[in-house]
Structure 1
């Protein structure tokens, strides 16, 4: 875009009116500013066309208003979905076993941890892990074996007494 194409002057002379109108329509200054900014970006991207309109300010104002309406629809749809499905059920704290497992996994080397997680939690085959990590199958098998051995040793020392004695 050339600096003398008229967009900068258009923006300077209309921005206050556009934001004021959108603020009056929405009742929320930050929403109005966001919608105006997005409308001006769209006008700038199409300035060769929009600049030739009889009233480019009306185009920007209309786009800004439509952006506000779309935001209102998203909010309304979110509220409708919330009413339909209710609040998200609360999730309790993790169990002691989960905490111990995560702590033990953190102590493993990254490659072993990745192999164990992908194999046992994501249910990927050794071949799939090899493909996804760009690693030979034998290396994946070795990482799984070493990781399991290290994880077993770590979990044996970190599990609560009643679980490790059972």
Structure 2
């Protein structure tokens, strides 16, 4: 049995979610079960396009708003924070019931930035996984205190060439 890895895609650059989705497609090509849980994006085209990849790749978003979290009022943010914590709880359930071979937690690191969850919540997620399950987390900032929970960190940065 292959040992799973915990991988982080982080940094200021664009393309972290696309990279994670590419890894999902690659895993689906190897007949693996993939679950993607998206955070902080609201309901958007990206979520809907992801649903076209079902049944090989199952995509979930627990947010109700069509706008990204950063554009919401304080009241709407509180409501969406509850929804996103439900998404984190769903991730724990997926891991504890062994419903996937690969779990992608898209923009989960942003939940730390907004104070929606704590680093200990991510540590508990990592503890709930079977040894052979791969987890991929994305977000801009990866806190050093979680270094012990991951196997690989890839930083994605954008380099502006000739003002483009």
Q: TM-score by structure 1 length? A: 0.24
| TM-score, structure 2 normalization | 0.25
Between Structure 1 and Structure 2, which shows a larger proportion of strand residues? 2
Higher helix share: 1
Computing the radius of gyration from Cα coordinates, the structure with the larger value is 1
